[in-house]
Amino acid sequence: MTADRTFEALCCRWNPPDACSGAPEIRDRIEELCTFGVHVVVVSDLDPAMVAGQLLPHSEGRGSLHLCLPRVGQVHEVTSSGPSLRWRDGCDHRPEGYGALRWIAGWLAERGITGSLVLVVGDVPAASAAFDRAVVVDTAVERPRFQQILDEQLDRRRSGRVPSVDADPAWSIPLPIERLAEGAAEAIGTIGNGWAASRAVLEERVDGSGTFLVNGVFTGDAVPTLVGGSNWSSIAVRDASTTRSLDLRTGVLVRESADPPLRTFKLISAHRPHVLALRAEGSSNCLLVPGDDGATGERDAQVTSSGGRGGGGIVIATADRAQAVGDDRLVERLGAWAASPRGRPSDDVVQSLLADLEGAGFDRILAEHRAAWAERWSNAAISITGSPEDELSARFAVFHLLASAPDAGEAAVGPRGLTGPAYGGHVFWDADVFVLPALAAIRPSAARAMLEYRLRRLPAARAAALASGGRGARFPWESATDGTDVTPPIVTLSSGEDVLVRTDEHEEHIVADVAWAADEYTRWTGDTAFLTTAGCDLVLDTARWWAGRIRVGADGRAHLDHVMGPDEYHDEVDDNAFTNVMARWNLRRAAALADELGIAGDESSEWRLLADRLVDGFDPATGLYEQFAGYWDLEPLLAAQVAEPPFAADALLGTDRVDRSQLIKQPDVLMLHHMIPSETPPGSLEWNLDVYTARTTHGSSLSPAIHAALYARAGRPDDALPLFRMAARLDLDDITGTTASGLHLATMGGVWQALAYGFLGLRPTSRALEIDPRLPRSWDALELGLRYGQARARIRADHERLHLKCDAPVTLRLPGGLPHACPPPGATFELDDPDAPRRSP
């Protein structure tokens, strides 16, 4: 039970003078385990100085030695200079040791060491309460057995065995094993750190090019695509099964095969962005180590490169250490990558990165990686009590969001992130509107890097505005390296029909979407300086674009002609409600910002005037928005009359027929109610929701999550749940058959938004975090971790109560209430009767 697992922490009872008194052999083993990075917790009833004196490590290892004294409620860390108090419990009324062990368990969890990565040996009171799912060995273990356990662990460490993961079903995603689903499995199991990612390609796959992608590294083609790096994890493997799982908690991909035995374990370091690591072990007839003569061997570094001809390039260097232990073969591979958006980095760069890794070693790289993922999750916790399936699929979405963007420099986030080649990895509104709001709340630095991508492309957007006779900045529908439009001229639908793409010409709402993203970022983060300094042009120059673009008609009203809304089934329309209201919001926001900046003048007055004059298609008599001028005159076809959503109506019925009908691809009028509800009249959501949902095919993967959010806001969370599940399971069940070409990362952003904006009813404003939870009956509670302003907050709602935990003050506002300042550690509120009618947003 313990011999075939590697533990990262060992918690044992030590009560000299009896069993272990003066046992140097135990102490030496513990010390050596610490040098391998194992954290040892000694639980004792005795005086700390006495126990520490017996255990005092001779040298500082990478693993820690903690002395836990439950009786007195203390935890000491022991180093060669003696014990120092780390934690003390003033009044521990809980069961014996609970507080001290809980503290240690939390300390380990902060390092990504949870559950079955912890071994508890001997009679450790309250261990089961503190260490969830730990492996516990015999409460009264004999000293020889204890020594044997330590030896097993030392053997595993010395021979570089494949580490273990905490096999927790609440955090583990099994990859599909059917041969035909291999493409989807590769995407689902993608591991990455935001800078780079590897699809879950099987080690033996020879043709693995294109499976390693780097953020912002595109080819130099007219329609660029992400440069495809090679499969750095390739190893000769024979006849092994393809059973793999992705550990969401620590970002590790594991493969296990029983017959023939094989285990592989790989990661892209979340701590050292350029580092790759892999270990594999298997029988000699399965894991074929090059030059296998049964001896330990080192290989020279292998260097592979991709791209570079007129575009970006990637270079990867790896070095292996192979070993034979009996009939087992063990391989450890460390790797380093380098990339450039222009040209290919030299081999020397990766060679020297690789040389630096030797000093760190695999164990340290893994420990740092686990701790970095624990840190990422500490701002992004998610739990759905009452529905483990929904919880797991939500965590899957958040995992990939956390792995989608670097948290420094600039982040070019494509619709599929770095999980596949679809859409060439181009940056669309998916980044600004779907991914960025989630990251602004759970990984603000990555959201800031996404805005940096837009900021650095302002010159290109300004040039595009000028070139089309306009002013300000006209962001392109699709962009890659230089910020010019890279939309492909033609796409082929699944029906085989070739369609001219006109999104680049008409889908102008992207301009306001970029401004909205900048504003949303500041509202989540409180980083108002962004909009008053570098970021202000994202709002001001986009408003300038609209001011130059708007036509004021003879009726005195302002219009936007020849545009396309999010509903791409109607590709050239006038006065699209979404575009017009987003433009109106952009103009008003820019005018308000001009006031803040002290630059208000004729220009900002013109913005306000034009905003007030813009038509928006809202009819107060019916309470409905008309999606665009003439929409109600189209064939009143409903989605259910054609097929069960989701479906691609253009592929089923042909683009012409769909263009003449009221079928829509994704929320358009409804999208306004999601993004800028304050720009829509009270009651409008409820009036428009069913009307437009009935016409929506969910032909875009972006659609169901937003509908879920809106049904929750309209007080219909049970109607929202199937839509939420459609979005959250989209890739796990490959619902649209498109997962192989990459995970729908923007949908995952939508999943987070459905939870946060929809079910919890969160809205960040500059004054307060608004909150109005509406949970489906089948969920007992929903909890999200996020950052709001300076605070790290946990918000948990059940059907009666709302709990806020925070480490800095947070001002909350409940529906109908006044802003309520909550100092740390937070507050609890009673919620209204959930069946009572509520104000619309």
CA distances from 519 to 330, 525, 605, 730, 790 (A): 52, 10, 20, 29, 17
Residue 766: exposure state from Cβ atoms within 10 A (0-12, 13-18, ≥19): exposed
Q: CA-to-CA distance for 300 and 535, rounded, in angstroms?
A: 47
DSSP-derived secondary structure for 159-219: TTPPPP----TTTEEEPP-SGGGHHHHHHHT-EE-SSEEE----TT-S--TT-EEETT-B-
Location of structure tokens 């006038």: 574
Of the two residues 244 and 665, which places its CB atom closer to ligand IFM in the complex?
A: 665
Closer residue to ligand IFM in complex, CB, 451/746: 746
Which CB, 48 or 415, lies closer to ligand IFM?
415
Q: Which is nearer to ligand IFM, 171 or 429 (CB)?
A: 429
- Using the rule CB under 6 A, is 415 a contact of ligand IFM? yes
Which one among 323, 700, 736, 739 touches ligand IFM, defined by CB under 6 A?
700
CB of residue 488 to ligand IFM, shortest distance in Å? 12
Sheet bearing 810-813, strands edge to edge: 763-764, 769-770, 810-813, 820-822
Q: What is the CA radius of gyration of the chain?
A: 29
Phi, psi of 494 (to 5 degrees): -65, -20
* Binding window for ligand IFM (CB under 6 A); candidates: 285-293, 365-373, 428-436, 655-663: 428-436
The least CB distance from residue 268 to ligand IFM, in Å, is 24
Neighbouring C-beta atoms of residue 764, cutoff 10 Å: 23
Binding piece for ligand IFM, criterion CB under 6 A, among 128-136, 423-431, 522-530, 781-789: 423-431
User: Do residues 228 and 243 touch, judged by C-beta distance below 8 A?
Assistant: no
Residue with Cβ nearer ligand IFM (423 or 516): 423
Q: In whole angstroms, give the CA distance from residue 337 to residue 317.
A: 6
* Tokens of residue 409, six digits: 């420099």
DSSP 121-148: ES--TTHHHHSTT-EEE-TT--HHHHHH
Q: Which stretch binds ligand IFM (CB under 6 A): 179-187, 203-211, 279-287, 421-429?
A: 421-429
Could you tell me the smallest distance in angstroms from the CB atom of residue 434 to ligand IFM?
8
Taking the least distance from each CB to ligand IFM, the nearer of 477 and 585 is 477
**Choices 324-332, 365-373, 426-434, 616-624 (CB under 6 A): range interacting with ligand IFM:** 426-434
Pick the closest to residue 423 from 198, 744, 27 (CA basis): 744
Confirm or reject binding of residue 429 to ligand IFM (CB under 6 A): yes
Least separation in angstroms between residue 431's CB and ligand IFM is 9
Evaluate whether 64 touches 51 at the Cβ level (below 8 Å): no
Maximal CA-CA distance, the chain: 98
Provide the 8-state DSSP code for 755. Answer: I
CB of 493 to ligand IFM, least distance (A): 12
C-beta of 124 vs 702, nearer to ligand IFM? 702
CB of 396 to ligand IFM, least distance (A): 19
Rank residues 29 and 698 by Cβ distance to ligand IFM and give the closer one. 698
Name the one range near ligand IFM by CB under 6 A: 285-293, 422-430, 583-591, 710-718. Answer: 422-430
Asked if residue 521 binds ligand IFM (CB under 6 A), the reply is no
> Minimum CB separation from ligand IFM for residue 510, in Å?
9
CB 317 → ligand IFM: shortest distance, Å?
34
In whole angstroms, how close is the CB of 196 to ligand IFM at the nearest point?
Answer: 21
| Chain centre distance of CA 16 | 48
In angstroms, what is the minimal distance from the CB of 679 to ligand IFM? 20
Cα distances (Å, whole numbers) of residue 681 to 616, 669, 678, 761: 11, 13, 7, 18
Nearer to ligand IFM, 281 or 731 (CB): 731
| Residue 428 touching ligand IFM (CB under 6 A) | yes
Q: Is 430 in the site for ligand IFM (CB under 6 A)?
A: yes
Which string of x and - marks every residue 652-691 that binds ligand IFM (by CB under 6 A)?
----------------------------------------
Neighbours of 621 (CB within 10 A): 5
Query: Closest approach of Cβ 209 to ligand IFM, in Å?
Result: 24
Pick the closer one to ligand IFM by CB: 568 or 770: 568
Backbone angles phi, psi at 46, to 5 degrees: -95, 180
Nearer to ligand IFM by C-beta: 233 or 580?
Answer: 580
Distance CA 446, CA 448 (A): 5
Compare residues 477 and 759 and give the one whose CB is closer to ligand IFM. 477
The answer to whether 20 contacts ligand IFM (rule: CB under 6 A) is no
Residue 806's H or E segment, with its range, is strand 801-806
Residue closer to ligand IFM by CB (options 594, 702) is 702
| CA nearest to 104, candidates 83, 90, 118, 121 | 118
Peptide bond before 646: cis, by omega within 30 degrees of 0? Answer: yes
Q: Which is nearer to ligand IFM, 344 or 509 (CB)?
A: 509
Q: CA-CA distance, 362 to 333, in Å (whole number)?
A: 8
- Using the contact rule CB under 6 A, the part of the chain among 253-261, 287-295, 356-364, 427-435 near ligand IFM is 427-435
Comparison of 476 and 776: residue with beta carbon closer to ligand IFM = 476
Binding mask 374-413 for ligand IFM (x = CB under 6 A): ----------------------------------------
Q: Which residue is nearest to ligand IFM (CB)?
A: 415
Residue 696 binding ligand IFM, by CB under 6 A: no
**Of residues 580-609, which lie at the interface with ligand IFM (CB under 6 A)?**
none
Q: Is residue 645 involved in binding ligand IFM (CB under 6 A)?
A: no
Strand partners, 12: 42, 121
Residues 744-803 within binding reach of ligand IFM (CB under 6 A): 746
Q: Cα–Cα–Cα angle for 463, 465, 469, nearest 5°?
A: 110
Binding mask 702-731 for ligand IFM (x = CB under 6 A): x-----------------------------
The H-or-E segment that residue 357 falls in is helix 347-378
Minimum CB separation of residue 703 from ligand IFM in Å reads 9
Instruction: Give the rounded distance of the alpha carbon of 648 from its chain centre.
Output: 27
CA 257/CA 280 separation, integer angstroms: 11
Task: Fill in the DSSP letter of residue 221.
Answer: S
Stretch that binds ligand IFM, among 145-153, 402-410, 425-433, 775-783 (CB under 6 A): 425-433
In the complex with ligand IFM, which residue's Cβ is closer, 414 or 773?
414
Find the binding residues for ligand IFM in span 557-576 (CB under 6 A).
566, 568
> Which of 423, 585, 618, 692 contacts ligand IFM by CB under 6 A?
423
Q: Is residue 742 part of the contact set for ligand IFM (CB under 6 A)?
A: no
Least distance between ligand IFM and beta carbon 702 (Å): 5
Nearer to ligand IFM, 613 or 729 (CB): 729
Task: For residue 428, give the nearest of 566, 572, 579, 307 by alpha carbon.
Answer: 566
Q: How many residues bind ligand IFM (CB under 6 A)?
A: 10
Two tokens at 24?
């140097």
Neighbours of 828 (CB within 10 A): 11
Burial of 816 (0-12, 13-18, 19+ CB in 10 A): exposed
Select 163 or 415, whichever has its Cβ closest to ligand IFM: 415
Binding residues for ligand IFM, per CB under 6 A?
Answer: 415, 423, 428-430, 566, 568, 700, 702, 746
